[in-house]
Protein backbone atom coordinates (compact mmCIF):
# COMPACT_ATOMS: atom_id res chain seq x y z
CA UNK A 1 0.00 0.00 0.00
CA UNK A 2 1.04 3.56 -0.64
CA UNK A 3 0.56 6.28 1.96
CA UNK A 4 -2.12 8.83 1.03
CA UNK A 5 0.41 11.46 -0.07
CA UNK A 6 2.05 8.89 -2.40
CA UNK A 7 -1.13 8.24 -4.40
CA UNK A 8 0.01 10.32 -7.36
CA UNK A 9 1.58 9.05 -10.55
CA UNK A 10 4.93 10.83 -10.00
CA UNK A 11 5.26 9.34 -6.51
CA UNK A 12 4.35 5.88 -7.83
CA UNK A 13 6.92 6.13 -10.64
CA UNK A 14 9.68 7.19 -8.24
CA UNK A 15 8.95 4.47 -5.69
CA UNK A 16 8.53 1.65 -8.22
CA UNK A 17 11.60 2.64 -10.26
CA UNK A 18 13.67 2.42 -7.08
CA UNK A 19 12.18 -1.00 -6.37
CA UNK A 20 12.11 -2.64 -9.83
CA UNK A 21 14.75 -0.67 -11.77
CA UNK A 22 15.59 -2.45 -15.03
CA UNK A 23 12.55 -4.75 -15.01
CA UNK A 24 10.39 -4.25 -18.10
CA UNK A 25 7.29 -2.15 -17.45
CA UNK A 26 5.80 -1.26 -20.85
CA UNK A 27 5.94 -2.67 -24.39
CA UNK A 28 4.28 -1.15 -27.47
CA UNK A 29 5.51 -1.88 -30.98
CA UNK A 30 9.29 -1.44 -31.04
CA UNK A 31 9.32 0.44 -27.73
CA UNK A 32 10.17 -1.37 -24.50
CA UNK A 33 10.65 0.57 -21.26
CA UNK A 34 11.98 -0.47 -17.91
CA UNK A 35 10.66 1.05 -14.70
CA UNK A 36 13.70 3.35 -14.67
CA UNK A 37 13.07 4.30 -18.31
CA UNK A 38 9.49 5.30 -17.49
CA UNK A 39 10.73 7.62 -14.76
CA UNK A 40 13.17 9.31 -17.14
CA UNK A 41 10.60 9.54 -19.94
CA UNK A 42 8.12 11.28 -17.63
CA UNK A 43 10.72 13.92 -16.77
CA UNK A 44 11.81 14.43 -20.38
CA UNK A 45 8.23 14.69 -21.64
CA UNK A 46 7.46 17.21 -18.90
CA UNK A 47 10.50 19.25 -19.99
CA UNK A 48 9.19 19.30 -23.56
CA UNK A 49 5.78 20.44 -22.32
CA UNK A 50 7.39 23.21 -20.28
CA UNK A 51 9.26 24.44 -23.36
CA UNK A 52 5.90 24.59 -25.13
CA UNK A 53 4.65 26.92 -22.37
CA UNK A 54 2.37 24.28 -20.85
CA UNK A 55 1.85 24.98 -17.16
CA UNK A 56 0.35 22.99 -14.28
CA UNK A 57 -3.41 22.84 -14.72
CA UNK A 58 -3.30 23.28 -18.51
CA UNK A 59 -5.10 20.70 -20.62
CA UNK A 60 -3.17 18.69 -23.22
CA UNK A 61 -5.28 16.72 -25.71
CA UNK A 62 -3.95 13.37 -27.00
CA UNK A 63 -5.45 12.00 -30.22
CA UNK A 64 -3.32 8.92 -30.72
CA UNK A 65 -3.68 5.16 -30.96
CA UNK A 66 -1.85 2.51 -28.94
CA UNK A 67 1.66 3.84 -29.41
CA UNK A 68 4.44 4.59 -26.95
CA UNK A 69 4.01 8.31 -27.67
CA UNK A 70 0.54 8.23 -26.12
CA UNK A 71 1.97 7.16 -22.78
CA UNK A 72 4.95 9.51 -23.11
CA UNK A 73 2.56 12.46 -23.37
CA UNK A 74 0.38 11.14 -20.54
CA UNK A 75 3.32 10.62 -18.18
CA UNK A 76 4.71 14.05 -19.04
CA UNK A 77 1.42 15.70 -18.15
CA UNK A 78 1.20 13.82 -14.84
CA UNK A 79 4.81 14.73 -13.99
CA UNK A 80 4.28 18.41 -14.75
CA UNK A 81 0.81 18.72 -13.22
CA UNK A 82 -0.87 19.33 -16.56
CA UNK A 83 -4.12 17.49 -17.37
CA UNK A 84 -4.09 14.85 -20.10
CA UNK A 85 -7.18 14.69 -22.33
CA UNK A 86 -7.14 11.32 -24.14
CA UNK A 87 -9.51 11.41 -27.14
CA UNK A 88 -11.05 8.51 -28.99
CA UNK A 89 -9.29 8.38 -32.38
CA UNK A 90 -12.65 7.81 -34.06
CA UNK A 91 -13.99 11.19 -32.87
CA UNK A 92 -15.03 13.51 -35.66
CA UNK A 93 -16.78 16.79 -36.37
CA UNK A 94 -19.05 18.27 -33.70
CA UNK A 95 -18.07 15.64 -31.12
CA UNK A 96 -14.37 16.42 -31.49
CA UNK A 97 -15.05 20.16 -31.49
CA UNK A 98 -16.97 19.82 -28.23
CA UNK A 99 -14.14 17.88 -26.56
CA UNK A 100 -11.50 20.42 -27.56
CA UNK A 101 -13.59 23.42 -26.55
CA UNK A 102 -14.93 21.90 -23.31
CA UNK A 103 -11.48 20.82 -22.12
CA UNK A 104 -9.82 24.09 -23.15
CA UNK A 105 -6.79 22.17 -24.46
CA UNK A 106 -3.94 24.46 -25.53
CA UNK A 107 -1.75 21.71 -26.99
CA UNK A 108 -2.73 18.70 -29.07
CA UNK A 109 -0.59 15.58 -29.49
CA UNK A 110 -1.93 13.94 -32.65
CA UNK A 111 -0.99 10.96 -34.76
CA UNK A 112 0.00 12.14 -38.23
CA UNK A 113 -2.82 10.42 -40.21
CA UNK A 114 -5.38 12.20 -38.01
CA UNK A 115 -4.14 15.71 -38.75
CA UNK A 116 -6.73 16.10 -41.51
CA UNK A 117 -9.47 15.43 -38.94
CA UNK A 118 -8.24 18.31 -36.80
CA UNK A 119 -7.54 20.87 -39.53
CA UNK A 120 -11.19 21.93 -40.09
CA UNK A 121 -11.57 22.72 -36.38
CA UNK A 122 -8.62 25.10 -36.08
CA UNK A 123 -9.85 28.61 -35.40
CA UNK A 124 -13.41 27.52 -34.71
CA UNK A 125 -15.11 29.26 -31.74
CA UNK A 126 -14.07 27.70 -28.44
CA UNK A 127 -11.05 25.81 -29.79
CA UNK A 128 -8.05 27.19 -27.88
CA UNK A 129 -5.29 25.14 -29.53
CA UNK A 130 -2.01 27.02 -29.83
CA UNK A 131 0.30 24.15 -30.75
CA UNK A 132 0.09 20.74 -32.38
CA UNK A 133 2.69 18.03 -31.82
CA UNK A 134 2.71 15.48 -34.60
CA UNK A 135 3.32 11.80 -33.78
CA UNK A 136 4.95 9.56 -36.37
CA UNK A 137 5.93 12.20 -38.92
CA UNK A 138 7.78 15.44 -39.43
CA UNK A 139 5.61 18.53 -39.63
CA UNK A 140 4.31 19.10 -43.19
CA UNK A 141 5.15 22.27 -45.07
CA UNK A 142 1.56 23.52 -44.91
CA UNK A 143 0.28 24.74 -41.55
CA UNK A 144 -3.28 24.31 -40.24
CA UNK A 145 -3.09 27.74 -38.58
CA UNK A 146 -1.28 26.86 -35.33
CA UNK A 147 2.32 26.05 -34.44
CA UNK A 148 2.98 22.57 -35.85
CA UNK A 149 6.02 20.50 -34.94
CA UNK A 150 7.05 16.87 -34.43
CA UNK A 151 6.61 15.35 -30.98
CA UNK A 152 10.10 15.08 -29.49
CA UNK A 153 11.01 14.47 -25.84
CA UNK A 154 13.17 16.99 -24.02
CA UNK A 155 16.90 16.30 -23.85
CA UNK A 156 17.01 16.77 -20.09
CA UNK A 157 14.50 15.55 -17.54
CA UNK A 158 12.93 18.03 -15.16
CA UNK A 159 11.87 17.39 -11.60
CA UNK A 160 8.29 16.45 -10.85
CA UNK A 161 6.02 19.20 -9.61
CA UNK A 162 4.74 18.58 -6.07
CA UNK A 163 1.11 17.52 -6.23
CA UNK A 164 -1.66 16.04 -4.16
CA UNK A 165 -3.85 12.96 -4.60
CA UNK A 166 -6.86 15.15 -5.38
CA UNK A 167 -5.14 17.04 -8.19
CA UNK A 168 -6.54 16.19 -11.64
CA UNK A 169 -4.49 13.86 -13.85
CA UNK A 170 -6.88 13.44 -16.79
CA UNK A 171 -10.17 14.38 -18.38
CA UNK A 172 -11.82 11.39 -20.05
CA UNK A 173 -14.90 11.89 -22.18
CA UNK A 174 -17.76 9.52 -21.68
CA UNK A 175 -20.90 9.35 -23.75
CA UNK A 176 -23.57 11.97 -23.29
CA UNK A 177 -26.89 10.27 -22.68
CA UNK A 178 -29.34 13.08 -23.38
CA UNK A 179 -26.83 15.68 -24.48
CA UNK A 180 -23.18 16.39 -25.15
CA UNK A 181 -20.37 14.09 -24.07
CA UNK A 182 -19.23 14.76 -20.52
CA UNK A 183 -15.61 15.37 -19.55
CA UNK A 184 -14.90 13.30 -16.43
CA UNK A 185 -12.31 15.00 -14.22
CA UNK A 186 -10.14 12.20 -12.82
CA UNK A 187 -7.92 12.89 -9.78
CA UNK A 188 -4.50 11.31 -9.32
CA UNK A 189 -5.66 8.95 -6.55
CA UNK A 190 -8.59 7.63 -8.58
CA UNK A 191 -6.18 5.77 -10.85
CA UNK A 192 -4.14 4.59 -7.90
CA UNK A 193 -7.29 2.86 -6.62
CA UNK A 194 -8.19 1.62 -10.10
CA UNK A 195 -4.78 -0.06 -10.27
CA UNK A 196 -4.85 -1.48 -6.75
CA UNK A 197 -8.41 -2.83 -6.94
CA UNK A 198 -8.13 -4.28 -10.45
CA UNK A 199 -4.82 -5.98 -9.70
CA UNK A 200 -6.22 -7.56 -6.53
CA UNK A 201 -9.32 -8.87 -8.27
CA UNK A 202 -7.31 -10.27 -11.18
CA UNK A 203 -4.62 -11.66 -8.89
CA UNK A 204 -1.83 -9.76 -10.65
CA UNK A 205 1.54 -10.19 -8.94
CA UNK A 206 5.15 -9.23 -9.49
CA UNK A 207 6.44 -10.77 -12.72
CA UNK A 208 3.06 -11.10 -14.46
CA UNK A 209 2.76 -10.01 -18.09
CA UNK A 210 -0.48 -8.22 -18.99
CA UNK A 211 -1.54 -7.80 -22.60
CA UNK A 212 -4.23 -5.46 -23.82
CA UNK A 213 -5.52 -4.70 -27.29
CA UNK A 214 -8.01 -2.17 -25.91
CA UNK A 215 -7.37 1.54 -26.58
CA UNK A 216 -5.27 3.55 -24.15
CA UNK A 217 -7.68 6.48 -24.47
CA UNK A 218 -10.27 4.50 -22.45
CA UNK A 219 -10.24 3.75 -18.73
CA UNK A 220 -9.76 -0.01 -19.14
CA UNK A 221 -6.35 0.05 -20.83
CA UNK A 222 -5.12 3.17 -19.04
CA UNK A 223 -5.96 1.45 -15.77
CA UNK A 224 -3.98 -1.62 -16.92
CA UNK A 225 -0.81 0.51 -16.94
CA UNK A 226 -1.39 1.42 -13.30
CA UNK A 227 -1.99 -2.25 -12.47
CA UNK A 228 1.40 -3.13 -13.91
CA UNK A 229 3.19 -0.21 -12.28
CA UNK A 230 1.79 -0.95 -8.81
CA UNK A 231 2.34 -4.73 -9.03
CA UNK A 232 5.81 -5.03 -10.55
CA UNK A 233 4.31 -6.49 -13.73
CA UNK A 234 4.76 -5.74 -17.45
CA UNK A 235 2.09 -4.27 -19.72
CA UNK A 236 2.22 -5.16 -23.42
CA UNK A 237 -0.04 -3.09 -25.68
CA UNK A 238 -1.24 -4.22 -29.09
CA UNK A 239 -2.48 -1.69 -31.68
CA UNK A 240 -6.04 -3.05 -31.75
CA UNK A 241 -8.16 -6.17 -31.33
CA UNK A 242 -7.83 -8.75 -34.10
CA UNK A 243 -9.68 -12.06 -33.91
CA UNK A 244 -6.98 -13.79 -35.96
CA UNK A 245 -4.09 -12.02 -34.26
CA UNK A 246 -5.22 -12.18 -30.62
CA UNK A 247 -3.83 -15.58 -29.66
CA UNK A 248 -0.54 -15.17 -31.57
CA UNK A 249 -0.01 -11.86 -29.76
CA UNK A 250 -0.78 -13.48 -26.42
CA UNK A 251 1.86 -16.14 -27.15
CA UNK A 252 4.41 -13.64 -28.46
CA UNK A 253 4.26 -11.58 -25.27
CA UNK A 254 4.02 -14.68 -23.04
CA UNK A 255 1.11 -12.91 -21.35
CA UNK A 256 -0.44 -14.27 -18.17
CA UNK A 257 -3.33 -11.76 -17.90
CA UNK A 258 -5.40 -10.15 -20.64
CA UNK A 259 -8.42 -7.92 -21.25
CA UNK A 260 -11.50 -8.40 -23.40
CA UNK A 261 -14.89 -6.77 -23.86
CA UNK A 262 -18.24 -8.51 -24.12
CA UNK A 263 -18.49 -8.72 -27.91
CA UNK A 264 -14.93 -10.00 -28.34
CA UNK A 265 -15.56 -13.29 -26.56
CA UNK A 266 -18.32 -14.53 -28.92
CA UNK A 267 -16.13 -13.49 -31.86
CA UNK A 268 -13.19 -15.58 -30.58
CA UNK A 269 -15.42 -18.55 -29.77
CA UNK A 270 -16.94 -18.44 -33.27
CA UNK A 271 -13.58 -19.01 -34.96
CA UNK A 272 -12.57 -22.54 -36.06
CA UNK A 273 -10.90 -24.76 -33.47
CA UNK A 274 -7.12 -24.78 -33.56
CA UNK A 275 -4.42 -26.99 -32.12
CA UNK A 276 -2.96 -23.77 -30.66
CA UNK A 277 -6.05 -22.87 -28.64
CA UNK A 278 -4.26 -23.83 -25.40
CA UNK A 279 -0.79 -22.80 -26.53
CA UNK A 280 -0.43 -19.80 -24.23
CA UNK A 281 0.45 -18.94 -20.63
CA UNK A 282 -2.59 -16.75 -19.93
CA UNK A 283 -4.67 -17.72 -16.89
CA UNK A 284 -7.36 -15.02 -16.67
CA UNK A 285 -9.06 -12.29 -18.68
CA UNK A 286 -10.97 -9.31 -17.38
CA UNK A 287 -14.05 -9.47 -19.62
CA UNK A 288 -16.99 -7.36 -18.45
CA UNK A 289 -20.35 -7.83 -20.12
CA UNK A 290 -19.86 -11.37 -21.44
CA UNK A 291 -23.14 -13.32 -21.64
CA UNK A 292 -23.30 -16.14 -19.11
CA UNK A 293 -23.49 -18.85 -21.77
CA UNK A 294 -20.04 -18.02 -23.16
CA UNK A 295 -18.04 -18.41 -19.93
CA UNK A 296 -17.82 -22.22 -19.82
CA UNK A 297 -17.23 -22.74 -23.58
CA UNK A 298 -14.48 -20.13 -23.54
CA UNK A 299 -12.79 -21.63 -20.48
CA UNK A 300 -13.04 -25.18 -21.79
CA UNK A 301 -11.70 -24.32 -25.21
CA UNK A 302 -8.99 -21.79 -24.39
CA UNK A 303 -8.11 -22.70 -20.81
CA UNK A 304 -8.48 -19.31 -19.17
CA UNK A 305 -11.10 -17.86 -16.88
CA UNK A 306 -13.23 -14.82 -17.65
CA UNK A 307 -13.76 -12.36 -14.82
CA UNK A 308 -16.67 -9.94 -14.91
CA UNK A 309 -16.97 -6.78 -12.88
CA UNK A 310 -18.32 -3.27 -12.82
CA UNK A 311 -16.76 0.16 -12.97
CA UNK A 312 -17.17 3.35 -14.95
CA UNK A 313 -15.03 6.31 -15.92
CA UNK A 314 -16.55 8.26 -13.03
CA UNK A 315 -16.06 5.54 -10.42
CA UNK A 316 -13.63 2.66 -9.97
CA UNK A 317 -13.57 -1.15 -9.94
CA UNK A 318 -16.50 -1.07 -7.54
CA UNK A 319 -18.14 -4.46 -8.04
CA UNK A 320 -16.38 -7.72 -8.76
CA UNK A 321 -15.34 -11.03 -7.28
CA UNK A 322 -11.99 -12.83 -7.52
CA UNK A 323 -11.77 -15.98 -9.58
CA UNK A 324 -12.73 -18.46 -6.86
CA UNK A 325 -15.87 -16.49 -5.94
CA UNK A 326 -16.96 -15.34 -9.39
CA UNK A 327 -20.38 -16.41 -10.67
CA UNK A 328 -20.79 -16.19 -14.46
CA UNK A 329 -23.67 -13.97 -15.46
CA UNK A 330 -23.24 -11.68 -12.45
CA UNK A 331 -21.23 -8.51 -11.94
CA UNK A 332 -19.93 -9.81 -8.61
CA UNK A 333 -20.20 -8.33 -5.12
CA UNK A 334 -19.36 -4.86 -3.90
CA UNK A 335 -15.62 -4.54 -3.41
CA UNK A 336 -13.88 -3.37 -0.27
CA UNK A 337 -13.70 0.42 0.06
CA UNK A 338 -17.03 1.06 -1.65
CA UNK A 339 -20.72 1.09 -0.89
CA UNK A 340 -23.40 0.13 -3.41
CA UNK A 341 -27.15 0.52 -3.22
CA UNK A 342 -29.98 -0.56 -5.52
CA UNK A 343 -32.33 2.39 -5.23
CA UNK A 344 -35.73 3.67 -6.25
CA UNK A 345 -36.42 7.08 -7.80
CA UNK A 346 -35.80 8.81 -4.45
CA UNK A 347 -32.59 6.90 -3.64
CA UNK A 348 -34.25 4.62 -1.08
CA UNK A 349 -32.80 1.12 -1.04
CA UNK A 350 -35.07 -1.53 -2.55
CA UNK A 351 -35.25 -5.14 -1.31
CA UNK A 352 -33.03 -7.88 -2.67
CA UNK A 353 -34.41 -9.28 -5.91
CA UNK A 354 -35.96 -5.96 -6.92
CA UNK A 355 -34.63 -3.96 -9.86
CA UNK A 356 -33.49 -0.40 -9.27
CA UNK A 357 -30.77 2.08 -10.14
CA UNK A 358 -27.24 1.28 -9.02
CA UNK A 359 -25.85 4.12 -6.93
CA UNK A 360 -22.33 4.13 -5.48
CA UNK A 361 -20.04 5.70 -2.89
CA UNK A 362 -16.31 5.52 -2.24
CA UNK A 363 -14.91 5.40 1.27
CA UNK A 364 -11.38 6.42 0.30
CA UNK A 365 -10.64 10.05 -0.64
CA UNK A 366 -10.47 10.75 -4.39
CA UNK A 367 -11.27 7.17 -5.41
CA UNK A 368 -14.03 8.55 -7.67
CA UNK A 369 -13.93 11.33 -10.25
CA UNK A 370 -14.36 14.91 -9.11
CA UNK A 371 -17.20 15.77 -11.49
CA UNK A 372 -17.85 16.88 -15.06
CA UNK A 373 -15.82 19.69 -16.61
CA UNK A 374 -17.89 22.79 -17.28
CA UNK A 375 -21.14 20.97 -16.46
CA UNK A 376 -21.93 21.81 -12.84
CA UNK A 377 -25.60 20.91 -13.29
CA UNK A 378 -24.72 17.44 -14.57
CA UNK A 379 -22.27 16.95 -11.70
CA UNK A 380 -24.91 17.83 -9.10
CA UNK A 381 -27.44 15.59 -10.83
CA UNK A 382 -25.12 12.59 -10.98
CA UNK A 383 -23.76 12.97 -7.42
CA UNK A 384 -27.02 14.00 -5.71
CA UNK A 385 -27.48 12.88 -2.10
CA UNK A 386 -23.74 12.14 -2.05
CA UNK A 387 -24.20 8.99 -4.15
CA UNK A 388 -23.01 8.60 -7.72
CA UNK A 389 -25.98 7.65 -9.89
CA UNK A 390 -24.84 5.24 -12.58
CA UNK A 391 -28.02 5.21 -14.65
CA UNK A 392 -27.79 1.39 -14.76
CA UNK A 393 -30.65 -0.80 -13.61
CA UNK A 394 -29.48 -3.81 -11.59
CA UNK A 395 -30.73 -6.43 -9.15
CA UNK A 396 -28.90 -7.49 -5.98
CA UNK A 397 -29.62 -11.07 -4.96
CA UNK A 398 -29.80 -12.44 -1.42
CA UNK A 399 -26.09 -13.41 -1.54
CA UNK A 400 -25.01 -9.88 -2.40
CA UNK A 401 -24.23 -10.55 -6.07
CA UNK A 402 -25.31 -7.87 -8.52
CA UNK A 403 -27.03 -8.69 -11.83
CA UNK A 404 -27.12 -6.17 -14.67
CA UNK A 405 -30.59 -5.63 -16.14
CA UNK A 406 -30.35 -2.70 -18.55
CA UNK A 407 -29.36 0.93 -18.91
CA UNK A 408 -31.71 3.60 -17.68
CA UNK A 409 -29.84 6.27 -19.57
CA UNK A 410 -30.36 6.97 -23.23
CA UNK A 411 -26.97 5.54 -24.15
CA UNK A 412 -25.89 2.74 -26.46
CA UNK A 413 -23.00 0.34 -25.89
CA UNK A 414 -21.53 -1.09 -29.10
CA UNK A 415 -18.26 -3.02 -29.48
CA UNK A 416 -16.99 -1.64 -26.18
CA UNK A 417 -17.78 1.98 -27.07
CA UNK A 418 -20.35 4.22 -25.41
CA UNK A 419 -22.44 6.04 -28.01
CA UNK A 420 -24.55 9.10 -27.32
CA UNK A 421 -27.94 8.70 -28.99
CA UNK A 422 -28.25 12.49 -28.83
CA UNK A 423 -25.05 13.06 -30.81
CA UNK A 424 -26.06 10.55 -33.50
CA UNK A 425 -29.51 12.14 -33.69
CA UNK A 426 -28.01 15.59 -34.26
CA UNK A 427 -26.08 14.27 -37.27
CA UNK A 428 -29.16 12.51 -38.68
CA UNK A 429 -31.26 15.64 -38.18
CA UNK A 430 -28.70 17.76 -40.00
CA UNK A 431 -29.72 16.08 -43.27
CA UNK A 432 -32.06 18.40 -45.15
CA UNK A 433 -34.52 15.59 -45.93
CA UNK A 434 -35.04 14.51 -42.30
CA UNK A 435 -37.85 16.09 -40.29
CA UNK A 436 -37.38 14.19 -37.03
CA UNK A 437 -35.51 11.12 -35.85
CA UNK A 438 -34.82 8.91 -32.87
CA UNK A 439 -31.73 6.80 -32.29
CA UNK A 440 -31.87 3.83 -29.93
CA UNK A 441 -30.30 0.48 -29.12
CA UNK A 442 -31.45 -2.87 -30.43
CA UNK A 443 -29.90 -6.23 -29.44
CA UNK A 444 -26.80 -7.47 -31.24
CA UNK A 445 -26.24 -11.06 -32.34
CA UNK A 446 -22.95 -11.03 -30.42
CA UNK A 447 -23.33 -9.00 -27.25
CA UNK A 448 -24.03 -5.41 -26.29
CA UNK A 449 -26.06 -3.30 -28.77
CA UNK A 450 -26.54 -2.26 -32.37
CA UNK A 451 -27.52 1.28 -33.34
CA UNK A 452 -30.88 1.86 -35.00
CA UNK A 453 -32.44 5.08 -36.30
CA UNK A 454 -36.12 5.67 -36.95
CA UNK A 455 -36.64 8.74 -39.10
CA UNK A 456 -39.49 10.76 -40.52
CA UNK A 457 -38.77 12.57 -43.78
CA UNK A 458 -39.89 16.07 -44.64
CA UNK A 459 -42.96 16.35 -46.84
CA UNK A 460 -42.05 15.54 -50.43
CA UNK A 461 -38.47 14.52 -49.57
CA UNK A 462 -36.89 11.36 -50.95
CA UNK A 463 -33.98 9.71 -49.16
CA UNK A 464 -32.63 6.16 -49.11
CA UNK A 465 -31.11 4.51 -46.04
CA UNK A 466 -27.74 4.27 -47.79
CA UNK A 467 -27.82 7.99 -48.62
CA UNK A 468 -28.54 8.76 -44.98
CA UNK A 469 -25.52 6.70 -43.88
CA UNK A 470 -23.39 8.42 -46.54
CA UNK A 471 -24.31 11.65 -44.74
CA UNK A 472 -23.50 10.18 -41.31
CA UNK A 473 -20.12 8.57 -42.08
CA UNK A 474 -17.91 11.69 -42.27
CA UNK A 475 -19.67 13.21 -39.25
CA UNK A 476 -19.60 10.33 -36.78
CA UNK A 477 -17.13 7.83 -35.33
CA UNK A 478 -17.34 4.64 -37.37
CA UNK A 479 -18.77 2.69 -34.45
CA UNK A 480 -21.66 5.15 -34.05
CA UNK A 481 -22.90 4.94 -37.66
CA UNK A 482 -26.32 3.22 -37.44
CA UNK A 483 -26.62 -0.33 -38.67
CA UNK A 484 -30.42 -0.31 -38.91
CA UNK A 485 -32.57 2.39 -40.56
CA UNK A 486 -36.33 2.59 -40.83
CA UNK A 487 -38.40 5.43 -42.26
CA UNK A 488 -41.75 5.96 -40.53
CA UNK A 489 -44.71 8.27 -41.12
CA UNK A 490 -44.52 9.42 -37.48
CA UNK A 491 -42.70 8.58 -34.25
CA UNK A 492 -44.57 7.53 -31.10
CA UNK A 493 -44.81 10.54 -28.79
CA UNK A 494 -46.40 11.71 -25.56
CA UNK A 495 -49.07 14.39 -25.47
CA UNK A 496 -46.41 17.07 -25.03
CA UNK A 497 -44.49 15.78 -28.04
CA UNK A 498 -41.68 13.83 -26.32
CA UNK A 499 -40.62 10.82 -28.38
CA UNK A 500 -41.35 7.54 -26.61
CA UNK A 501 -38.17 5.62 -27.32
CA UNK A 502 -39.24 2.69 -25.19
CA UNK A 503 -41.93 1.96 -27.78
CA UNK A 504 -39.35 2.05 -30.56
CA UNK A 505 -37.05 -0.28 -28.61
CA UNK A 506 -39.94 -2.67 -28.00
CA UNK A 507 -40.80 -2.53 -31.72
CA UNK A 508 -37.16 -3.14 -32.64
CA UNK A 509 -36.09 -4.45 -36.04
CA UNK A 510 -39.04 -5.17 -38.34
CA UNK A 511 -39.34 -6.62 -41.87
CA UNK A 512 -39.38 -3.02 -43.10
CA UNK A 513 -36.06 -2.17 -41.42
CA UNK A 514 -33.04 -1.64 -43.66
CA UNK A 515 -29.94 -3.51 -42.42
CA UNK A 516 -26.65 -2.20 -43.75
CA UNK A 517 -24.94 -5.58 -43.16
CA UNK A 518 -27.55 -7.41 -45.21
CA UNK A 519 -27.16 -4.87 -48.03
CA UNK A 520 -23.35 -4.98 -48.02
CA UNK A 521 -23.00 -1.34 -47.01
CA UNK A 522 -19.47 -0.74 -45.68
CA UNK A 523 -18.48 1.78 -43.01
CA UNK A 524 -14.94 3.10 -43.36
CA UNK A 525 -12.74 3.16 -40.29
Please, where are the H alpha helices in 84-217? 93-103, 115-118, 188-202
What's the pLDDT at 177? 47
Of the ranges 23-37, 102-116, 289-303, which one carries the lowest mean pLDDT score?
Answer: 289-303
**Closest-CA residue to 192 (of 335, 6, 388, 38):** 6
Q: Looking at residues 211-236, what average pLDDT do you find?
A: 97
Distance CA 120, CA 105 (A): 16
pLDDT in tens, 156-210: 999 999 999 999 999 999 865 456 789 999 999 999 999 999 999 999 999 999 9
Residue 388 has pLDDT above 80, yes or no: yes
Compute the Cα dihedral for 158, 161, 162, 168 and give only its sign: negative
Highest mean pLDDT (candidates 125-134, 400-409, 423-432): 125-134
Q: What is the pLDDT of residue 498?
A: 67
What's the mean pLDDT in 66-75? 97
What is the DSSP code string of 41-90?
HHHHHHHHHHHTT--TT-EEEEE--SSHHHHHHHHHHHHHT-EEEE--TT
User: What per-residue confidence (pLDDT) applies to 195?
Assistant: 98
Q: How many helices (H) and strands (E) does the chain have?
A: 14, 25
Is residue 495's pLDDT more than 60?
A: no
Please state the pTM of the whole predicted model. Answer: 0.85
Over residues 90-111, the mean pLDDT reads 94
Taken in order of first residue, the domains within the chain and their CATH numbers are 37-163 (3.40.50.980), 193-407 (3.40.50.12780), 412-515 (3.30.300.30)
Overall average pLDDT of the 17-44 stretch: 98
State mean pLDDT over 17-38.
98
Q: What is the mean pLDDT of the chain?
A: 92
**Rounded Cα–Cα distance for residues 71 and 77 (Å):** 10
Categorize the per-residue pLDDT at 497 as very low, low, confident or very high, splitting at 50, 70 and 90: low
Percent with pLDDT over 90 in the chain: 78
Which residues, 6+ apart, have CB-to-CB distance to 73 below 8 Å?
45, 60, 62, 64, 84, 109, 133, 151
396 forms bridges with which residues in the sheet? 402
pLDDT tens by residue, 253-265? 999 999 998 778 8
The model's pLDDT over 334-353, given as tens digits with 9 standing for 90+, comes to 999 999 999 999 999 999 99
Mean local confidence (pLDDT), 348-363: 96
Bigger pLDDT: 82 vs 275: 82
Instruction: Give the pLDDT of residue 142.
Output: 66
Q: pLDDT tens across 415-474, in order?
A: 778 787 878 888 998 999 998 899 999 988 877 789 999 999 988 999 999 999 999 999
Amino acid sequence: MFAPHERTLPAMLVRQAARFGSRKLFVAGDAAWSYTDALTIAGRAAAALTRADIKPGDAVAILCGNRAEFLQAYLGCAWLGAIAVPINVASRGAQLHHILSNSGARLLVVEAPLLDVIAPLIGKPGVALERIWLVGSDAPAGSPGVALEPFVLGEDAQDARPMRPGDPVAILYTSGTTGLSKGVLCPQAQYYWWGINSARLLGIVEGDVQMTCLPLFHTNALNAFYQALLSGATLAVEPRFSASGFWPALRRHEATVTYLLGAMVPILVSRPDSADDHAHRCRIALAPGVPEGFHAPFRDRFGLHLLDGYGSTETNFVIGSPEGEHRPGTMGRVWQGFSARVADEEDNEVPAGTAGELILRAREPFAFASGYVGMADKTVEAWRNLWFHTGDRVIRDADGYFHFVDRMKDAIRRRGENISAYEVEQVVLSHAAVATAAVFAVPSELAEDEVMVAAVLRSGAVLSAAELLDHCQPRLPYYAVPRFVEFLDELPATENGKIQKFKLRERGVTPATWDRDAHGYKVAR
